[in-house]
């Protein structure tokens, strides 16, 4: 719950208190890096609910995935190929899979509470 709260607070601070204008030429890189970072956040939450969370794996995935995704987008731009679409598909797919794990955990917890009552 704390990671999700931190994510929401971070988004609110970023949107309302720290105005950042990203030049159009870098928007693909930043978008893919943000998607990769969100994938890591959801993966961290999913690992937490499964009692498998490891801070070293989370941090290396968070920064490593974001940098790799941005680098792939840059290399694709230099080659004239939209490689960033592959990163969007891969990280988007994993994001939904991690969300499914989290959702199932929450629903299982709610179902167990209903049985007790």
User: pTM of the predicted model, to two decimals?
Assistant: 0.76
Domain that holds residue 97: 24-116
Q: Return the pLDDT at 117.
A: 57
Instruction: Decide if 45 contacts 98 (C-beta within 8 A).
Output: yes
Q: Return the pLDDT at 100.
A: 94
Q: Return the pLDDT at 13.
A: 87
Residue 109 lies in a domain: yes
Q: Return the pLDDT at 17.
A: 84
Task: Give the largest CA-CA distance in the chain.
Answer: 61
Residue 19 lies in a domain: no
Helix (H, G, I), strand (E, B) or coil at 20: coil
Residue 1 lies in a domain: no
Residue of 103, 107, 8 whose CA lies nearest to 46: 103
Instruction: Decide if 53 contacts 47 (C-beta within 8 A).
Output: yes
Residue 37 lies in a domain: yes
Question: What is the residue-level pLDDT of the chain in tens, covering all 117 positions?
Answer: 676 788 788 888 888 888 778 888 888 888 898 899 889 989 998 999 899 989 999 999 899 988 988 888 899 989 998 888 888 899 899 999 999 999 999 999 888 876 765
- The residue behind tokens 């974001």 is 66
Residue 16 lies in a domain: no
- Total domains, the chain: 1
Residue of 34, 92, 89, 86 whose CA lies nearest to 63: 34
Residue 15 lies in a domain: no
């Amino acid at each position: 719950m704390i990671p999700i709260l931190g994510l929401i607070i971070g988004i609110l601070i970023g949107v309302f208190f720290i105005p950042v204008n990203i030049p159009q030429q870098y928007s693909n890189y930043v978008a893919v890096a943000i998607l990769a970072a969100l994938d890591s956040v959801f993966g961290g939450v999913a690992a937490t609910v499964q009692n498998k969370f490891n801070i070293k794996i989370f941090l290396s995935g968070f920064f490593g995935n974001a940098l790799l995704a941005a680098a792939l987008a840059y290399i694709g731009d230099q080659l004239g190929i939209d490689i960033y679409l592959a990163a969007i598909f891969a990280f988007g797919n994993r994001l939904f899979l991690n969300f499914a794990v989290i959702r199932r955990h929450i629903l299982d917890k709610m179902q167990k509470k209903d049985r007790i009552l």
